[in-house]
Structure 1
Amino acid sequence: MTRILAIDTSSAWCSVALSLDDAPPLVRHQKVSAGASQLLLPWVEELLSEASIELSSLDAIAIGNGPGAFTGVRLGVAVVQGLAIAAKLPVLAVASLDAIASQLVLSPAFVSSGAHSFVVALDARMGEVYWARYRTTQNALPQREGDIHLSAPEGIDLANIEFLAGSAITEFGERLFSSIPKALANSHLDSEIGVNALGVLACAQAMWSQGLQQDVHLLEPLYIRNKVALTSIERSQQHG
């Protein structure tokens, strides 16, 4: 039984979840674009107050550390650093794609598909995609196969994949579908699913059980890409 606060601001959503032993998690999850900085700490205070506990009584704080929106990732990591240092708590860093994968396998569409291998692919802007391959496991979270990649949409490895999920479907549909098996393109897709604190929490709980918490001073954003913007010349070349 664990008490973990989970935070994610790596997308256009501000998301916070608090798990208290075996009770259902308390959650705040809202699309805010650039307003996460105004909601994050008040939400943390609200959830702790609702649960009638102090921050210092938690076991750990989990953070979705990317990849994702550059400013959002930095915000979430900075807030968790401040909270964890103040309360002397360890942290659990969860990759955004892993958090999405943990939620995807519970969705009715995925369950009904009978899929065992899948890809999570997120729009990374600048004409590129963050993506990773996963495989389901029995009575456990899905297992990521290899690293999280950054590539052009055509560079995603979809060999033997039975399900595809993530925002890259909407952004790069035509370019993705050229290499997707017909059955996959017709039905086994989820373009709406995104990262949220419940997914971060699920991964963090599994990490905690394996002793994978870390000192807050070791916490870093997971960027994958170091360059966060194109020059005007690069933008014009990209659009032909």
Structure 2
Amino acid sequence: MANILAIDTSSAWCSVALSLDGQEPAFRHEAVTAGASQLLLPWIEAMLEASNFKLGELDAIAVGIGPGAFTGVRLGVAAAQGLAISQRLPVIPVASLDAIAAQVIQTPAFQKINPKHFMIAVDARMDEVYWVKYEKCEQKLPVRMGNIHLSKPEDIDLTGIQYLAGSAIKEYGERVLQATKPPTSEIAADPDIAVSALGILDVAIQMQQEGRSCDVQDLEPLYIRDKVALTTAERMEAFK
């Protein structure tokens, strides 16, 4: 089994997980405001020290690359780059929605329904949602069906979906749940699940087994939105 450090700061949480030789992962996950930059490296140092393990003994560093909070994603990627360069380690980039999908299939509510197809939809701010469909597999983690999309809440495509999870449900309510045409009440929902380093770790372990780690020079944030602010001219045009 691989020795992998997983980190995620793409949301309002600072999250770190450490898996050593298939043992139960060490895990720390706390809500923060603007303090992730002060917490992340001390947490990693303390976790390694408590496990009597050195950074250079890792097989890889996994990191959440977004989509998510712009500053948080940049922080996580920069930290992973710095740590990996210092020890010449490979990195494993994990999309935040893939990490949530890896977590949600382990929940009792999901397993009770055991849907074949499901969707992760998270709040993208600016009255938009990041979303993507998944197909559940028996022996592996869910397979993403296409690219991650960005749209208005009511414009997501729930066709064929039996289970919906993510922060977009709580943020946009019926605008998301009634996105099908005609609307359906048959979709089960989990509004509370969010990205964490444990989900990053689950995906990273499979990617490592499949030889899908990469060189640190190839590590980049995953941006779905091309721009985060309107120009003055665009704002004036919107009020005409």
Superposed, 1:166-181 pairs within 5 Å as 166-178=166-178, 179=180, 180-181=183-184
Closer/same/farther in 2, CA of residues 56 and 231 from structure 1, 3 Å limit: same
* CA-CA distance at 1:157 after TM superposition: 1.1
* CA-CA distance at 1:114 after TM superposition: 2.3
Superposed, 1:107-126 pairs within 5 Å as 107-126=107-126
2:158 is paired with a residue whose SS is coil
1:207 is paired with a residue whose SS is helix
Cα distance in 2, alignment partners of residues 142 and 217 from structure 1: 28
CA offsets 1:123-178 (integer angstroms, 9 cap, x no match): 10111110000011012101110111111112211111000000110111121122
CA offsets 1:67-125 (integer angstroms, 9 cap, x no match): 00000000000000000000110000000000000000000110111212100001101
Residues 126 and 229, structure 1, Cα contact 8 Å, conserved in 2: no
Cα distance in 1, alignment partners of residues 145 and 122 from structure 2: 16
Is 1:150–2:173 an aligned residue pair?
Answer: no
One-letter amino acid matched to 1:182: S
Gaps of 5+ in 1: none
Superposed, 1:160-239 pairs within 5 Å as 160-178=160-178, 179=180, 180-184=183-187, 188-230=188-230
Aligned equivalent of 2:76: 76
Aligned equivalent of 1:132: 132
Closer/same/farther in 2, CA of residues 44 and 236 from structure 1, 3 Å limit: farther
Residues 153 and 176, structure 1, Cα contact 8 Å, conserved in 2: yes
One-letter amino acid matched to 1:102: A
Closer/same/farther in 2, CA of residues 235 and 8 from structure 1, 3 Å limit: farther
Aligned equivalent of 2:13: 13
Residues 166 and 193, structure 1, Cα contact 8 Å, conserved in 2: yes
User: TM-score with structure 1 length normalisation?
Assistant: 0.94
Superposed, 1:55-70 pairs within 5 Å as 55-70=55-70
Closer/same/farther in 2, CA of residues 26 and 152 from structure 1, 3 Å limit: same
Cα distance in 1, alignment partners of residues 234 and 44 from structure 2: 41
One-letter amino acid matched to 2:89: L
1:182 is paired with a residue whose SS is coil
2:110 is paired with a residue whose SS is helix
Cα distance in 2, alignment partners of residues 121 and 227 from structure 1: 20
Cα distance in 1, alignment partners of residues 89 and 141 from structure 2: 25
Cα distance in 2, alignment partners of residues 117 and 220 from structure 1: 29
* CA-CA distance at 1:183 after TM superposition: 1.7
User: TM-score with structure 2 length normalisation?
Assistant: 0.94
2:173 is paired with a residue whose SS is helix
Count of matched residue pairs:
237
Cα distance in 1, alignment partners of residues 214 and 114 from structure 2: 36
Is 1:31–2:42 an aligned residue pair?
Answer: no
2:141 is paired with a residue whose SS is coil
Residues 70 and 228, structure 1, Cα contact 8 Å, conserved in 2: no
Is 1:46–2:46 an aligned residue pair?
Answer: yes
Gaps of 5+ in 2: none
Cα distance in 1, alignment partners of residues 167 and 107 from structure 2: 16
